[in-house]
């Protein structure tokens, strides 16, 4: 169990917390990049309006701009998957893992069966890999 000077609460290991922070940072970057691409596709959109929206609410705007222009839903679907994963991370709860480590766990929605699972290092690395793929697709899209 880790403790830091800024918190008396038990914390996950430093590496896990670094991955967690990195995961949120790459998501935040891509969320902004999605908005930038929506606006560059259709200038009638307002950045202030889009940045205030929950990320899940951007799906329709991605559909109406990026998906419409590319003729496929690759970016739209990948972003939706990433948003769902981000939601599981952000709405997680702290547990002691089977290995005795402090980590986050989460559960799927009631509609998806209330399935509980751990936010493992692998989950966070997979999340970052998906975010890298999205970033690459957005760079490629912007270049056209």
pLDDT averaged per 10 residues, the chain (length 144): 72 92 97 98 97 97 98 98 96 91 92 93 97 98 88
Question: What pLDDT, on the 0 to 100 scale, is given for residue 103?
Answer: 94
Question: What pLDDT, on the 0 to 100 scale, is given for residue 78?
Answer: 98
Per-residue b or e along 59-87, where b marks 16 or more CB atoms closer than 10 Å to that residue's CB: bebbeebbbeebeebebbebbbebbebbe
Residue 30: exposure state from Cβ atoms within 10 A (0-12, 13-18, ≥19): buried
Question: What pLDDT, on the 0 to 100 scale, is given for residue 1?
Answer: 60
Question: What pLDDT, on the 0 to 100 scale, is given for residue 12?
Answer: 87
Nearest by Cα to 46 from 56, 33, 36: 36
| Rama region for 61: left / alpha / beta (φ>0; ψ in -120 to 50; rest) | alpha
Question: What pLDDT, on the 0 to 100 scale, is given for residue 98?
Answer: 87
């Amino acid at each position: 169990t880790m403790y830091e000077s800024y918190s008396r609460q038990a914390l996950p290991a430093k590496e896990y917390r670094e991955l967690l922070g990195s995961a949120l940072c790459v998501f935040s970057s891509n969320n902004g990049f999605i908005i930038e691409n929506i606006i560059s596709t259709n200038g009638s959109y307002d950045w202030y309006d889009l940045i205030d929206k929950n990320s899940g609410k951007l799906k329709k705007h991605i559909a109406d701009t990026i998906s419409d222009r590319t003729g496929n839903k690759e970016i739209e679907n990948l972003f939706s998957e990433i948003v769902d994963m981000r939601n599981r991370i952000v709405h997680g709860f702290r547990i002691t893992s089977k290995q005795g480590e402090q980590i986050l766990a989460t559960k799927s929605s009631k509609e998806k069966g209330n399935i509980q699972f751990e936010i493992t290092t692998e989950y966070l690395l997979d999340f970052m890999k998906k975010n890298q793929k999205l970033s690459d697709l957005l760079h490629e899209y912007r270049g056209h």
